Structure 1
């Protein structure tokens, strides 16, 4: 039925660079531009940058970054200027510093060669307790595959109010060759548009909160050239990514629009929260957890995943779990409004186990495809108290417990009902004779053996 995982070949390009972007983000804080007096600040203009959008300011800005590393001062990009660069800028070994760029732009043009995000417009490495605030980064000619902002081997960082447009790899990325070397990074209130991957992470304690990620893929020249059918290679893939090895990442409160592939794509990570995001119009899943790292075997397995409070609509597949364990899918609103699109709202797929799907609203327009689908290869799955508006609400193995409303004041249970330590049942049928049997429930042991039928009585009142 539904595709179990996605493209192995697609991820091969990532494997060469182990792309990831993760930031530990606290609740966003409004940052007012400080009065720049020269005390504690270095302006890129002081090192020869022009900011006219024509002059190549790469060497001047790099000189300013190098000077800041030597003096411990923070760096200012004056507002209203466009600083053209043709190669990567590197901030290395800085601690307790700010890069401030309200209404200023770093524009990549005539770029030196880079493939698969080998270079970034601005790279931070071995930096600690830092902030990047208000800067815009964009690529004017899209000839090379640069990241916008890349963070590695760093900690205690905040990237707030930054905009990245049209770079051909990651917009904002936290990535380490060995996962989790970067930790406590927050990416908040940022915008990425027209990038291959919006925001990515393989770090620890990375918080990706309240950002806007838009690819608007159906409107791109690439979509027109491909006849509206996405295929690799492409300049547009996933909105927010949490890659293999990441731990304690939060993806929350983001709006993610019309991505070339998944809105939120995660691999074999641990302790992940995906909450309160709005995901619309993606060309693959809205939210996908793939613990197999893009393969068909449980090579990594995602452990400890919470997917809650999200709105996911009009994607080619909506919430999909592959090779995941200890997962809760709670309180989401999922809709497939396209009656000709045979995709599920929630799919519990290949080798997923110990999963609870509770309290979601799912609307399925397709007449024959199930809204909630549980594959035979998944185990220990409970589907309970979901509101499902669909011609075919569920498809699941016999040992999947499904509890749902079957009518006013009524519930229906599919799968074995196992009682441990007694049960209590409230009955909706009015009592006519006190003590009369209304219905019976079959009781099973924890091993599945039947203990027989238990009568259920009306109340006396």
Structure 2
């Protein structure tokens, strides 16, 4: 309105019929006056009269939650001058900036078509008692949209979803909340329902104190082209999610693990793709994983880049019919790189990325210019390791040179093929079930191929 400079093009909203929260409902927006009543009246009128609501530039203090009751025929579009211009500040414990909907033991109350564009939503800084609970507390919201919204500083979650469906969070910055940036929760009222058809894209989820994004019991979930960084414990976590895509995300410095799929035997994820993600720089040295698949069926992990993650890629023994590779990992210790391959089901991680002890080059191996490539195939209960070592003047002395493998395997067998130089040998290795093999004697070779097979139980 007038000559006010706005943060981005709001033409498509300003050109439609709309209320102005200041001029039509008396909101002050100076950060001092309590605007709760004025904003609630504006939201209710906008829904009732099927009119957009404009929140002009200003700082709006609220001391109670703003309740959204929009329906399929009476939605809500609330837009501001941008996330650093039109800002709502929550000042009291137990307050969520926006809430609405309800879940009952025998049903639920939907909130339909709530759209929020160009806003900042802040839990006021200070001790826990002075912070709002959530930026958006979304119980049974449908066809929702958060676009160009910043959410920060809340005691619990920036965005908290419960049984919400068909929604999009895009071009948002969700940061500095004391629990999760985005949390899709399942409740005791309907434990099997969850959140469905949700897309999170082109957003930054950063510096949240417990984790970045956690979605429970969901389906048709798309988390695409986001920056997820510096969150404590994890970047993205999925539990009991089916039909999901995690594609093109950038993760850096996320606590213990960048991406976690599945939690335990009762929280399996089913049918998903994890691809094209760039995951870098573990913040917890010695324990951080790039991608960890704990309990899953039919999950494919390929085309990801993982740098400086202590465990690059890990599949647990209850990951069934999953596939991994090719992925590219860069080792945090020596910056060696290798492609990684997993077929069918079972356990896999890349070189130096095993969940147990893993020595990719045998101890006491003599020679110069040593490089290696390691690949693994798991089918059912059988795991086979294929290891290729190249170098000049490679030598081994029996009972001295050993290669430690990542798991204690029953019925372990191993063979070695020595090729090049003056050595030519195909022989069985001295194998143990204690997690290592001892190579036979050989001298002055340029290539060693080692095959190790065994049962996981």
User: TM-score band (shorter)?
Assistant: 0.5 to 0.7
Q: Which residue of 2 aligns with 1:241?
A: 214
The alignment status of 1:171 with 2:158, answered yes or no, reads yes
Equivalent of residue 86 in structure 2, options 97, 105, 122: 105
1:417-453 per-residue CA deviation (whole Å, 9 max, x = no partner) reads xxxxxxxxxxxx9xxxxxxxxx9xxxxxxxxxxxxxx
Distance in 2 of aligned mates of 1:309 and 1:407? 30
How many residue pairs get aligned? The number is 337
- CA RMSD, 1 decimal: 3.6
The alignment status of 1:183 with 2:162, answered yes or no, reads no
Equivalent of residue 197 in structure 1, options 180, 183, 190: 180
Distance in 1 of aligned mates of 2:212 and 2:254? 9
Structure 2 length normalisation: TM-score? 0.66
| 8 Å CA contact 1:166, 1:193 repeated in 2 | yes
Q: Which residue of 2 aligns with 1:90?
A: 67
| 8 Å CA contact 1:370, 1:395 repeated in 2 | no
Q: Which has the higher contact order (CA 8 A, sep 6+)?
A: 1
| 8 Å CA contact 1:313, 1:334 repeated in 2 | yes
Structure 1 length normalisation: TM-score? 0.65
Distance verdict in 2 for CA 1:318–1:304, change over 3 Å: same
Equivalent of residue 289 in structure 1, options 243, 261, 267: 261
Runs of 5+ in structure 2 lacking a partner? Answer: 1-7, 102-109, 185-193, 283-287, 361-373, 392-404, 406-418, 420-425, 427-457
The alignment status of 1:128 with 2:112, answered yes or no, reads yes
1:200-236 per-residue CA deviation (whole Å, 9 max, x = no partner) reads 3341110000101110xxxxxxxxxxxxxxxxxxx70
Runs of 5+ in structure 1 lacking a partner? Answer: 1-29, 177-181, 216-234, 293-297, 338-342, 409-413, 415-428, 430-438, 440-461
| 8 Å CA contact 1:269, 1:302 repeated in 2 | yes
1:32-181 paired onto structure 2 within 5 Å:
32-34=10-12, 36=14, 40-45=17-22, 46-79=24-57, 81-94=58-71, 95-103=74-82, 104-111=85-92, 113-114=93-94, 119-125=95-101, 126-142=110-126, 143-176=130-163
Distance in 2 of aligned mates of 1:249 and 1:242? 9
SS for the counterpart of 2:38 is: helix
| 8 Å CA contact 1:361, 1:387 repeated in 2 | no
| 8 Å CA contact 1:336, 1:363 repeated in 2 | yes
1:27-60 per-residue CA deviation (whole Å, 9 max, x = no partner) reads xxx96344647x7312222222100010011111
| 8 Å CA contact 1:358, 1:383 repeated in 2 | no
Of 255-264 and 120-129, more deviation after overlay is shown by: 120-129
What displacement does 1:65 show? 1.2
The alignment status of 1:312 with 2:290, answered yes or no, reads no
| 8 Å CA contact 1:379, 1:400 repeated in 2 | no
Distance in 2 of aligned mates of 1:304 and 1:332? 18
What displacement does 1:406 show? 6.6
